[in-house]
Structure 1
Amino acid sequence: MSRTARPAFIDEAPFAQLLANGHCTAGGETFDPHPVIKLFTPDANATWLLTELDPDDEDRAFGLCDLGFSSPELGYVRLSDLENLRGPFGLAVERDEHFSADRPLSVYAEQARLSGRIIC
């Protein structure tokens, strides 16, 4: 099992929830959780709504990823990549402290597909 240090932009409680959700998915259950955390680049148009962490590789997160090219998609991202990512003005990825998911990830994904971007 790959263990990584928890990134600074994810507090302990959301990290634990992401990992718990990952265990549900790993168990083979049909699972459509609400996003746990929203991350974004303050100086670019990238946004991530993350729902879970891979229990065998805690650096691998799953969610809705929008890099600002009008084609958001469900997929995996490495937290270490997000931690090292900088926008055009050198700003790091941040957590949206005011985000609270009010629907499952599948609904956010469908809305993003229709609009070409994540709508929160």
Structure 2
Amino acid sequence: TQVDGPRAPAAAAHAAALATDDGAALHAASVQLEQIGALLLAVDAAAQATAAHTRHNRRGSAQAASTRAHRLTQACEGAAPPLAAVAATSTAPAPNSRHRPHRTRRLLRSD
């Protein structure tokens, strides 16, 4: 099956970046998704970039990605994609950072 249009390459870039936990590539995917008008997906990619940068202790990049996710969320007129909650949390590693994944899972739960 062949898929035409800009959405397929953008989705593929997003998936590849997510699979490799590459914050810079997730940020680039967010930009690409925004350019094609897929704002909610762009928010998720930016939030995922925030989390990836945080895991790799890249505070400046994490803050930039978090700011981007927040700005894009505001452009979505009240929508709150699940990963936007992650971007809204502090990007600084907690002193007990080994517990951070549990916090992220709790934020992402849909109950």
TM-score after normalising by structure 2: 0.31
Q: Where is the strand percentage greater, Structure 1 or Structure 2?
A: 1
- Structure number with greater CO (CA < 8 Å, separation at least 6) is 1
TM-score after normalising by structure 1: 0.29
Q: Where is the helix percentage greater, Structure 1 or Structure 2?
A: 2
